[in-house]
Amino acid sequence: MAAARRWALALARGAAPVALGLLLWVAVAGGEQERLDTLKALPDATPEVLTQRRRHNELIMAALREAAETDENVARRPVPWRK
């Protein structure tokens, strides 16, 4: 009987943090859709701004790709460098 009681107590002690984590996860995940809707409604989400950001990201990726492919230290180049 004492062993069953210790088992139940150990199970309860182990389940409490799991239950707390699950409750916190549900609380955070519940606001995720609202956060995404808010982000979509921002004025920065216009097609023009998104196209500009996409182009900016492409330029950054091209610079990173070039830096990875060369042995030259591209950080030492003069500042206004563009292809």
Q: According to the model, what pLDDT value does residue 57 have?
A: 94
CB-hemisphere CA count at 13 Å for 4? 1
DSSP code, position 73: -
At residue 81, does pLDDT exceed 70?
A: no
Q: Which two tokens stand for residue 44?
A: 């920065």
Mean pLDDT over each residue of the chain, to the nearest integer: 83
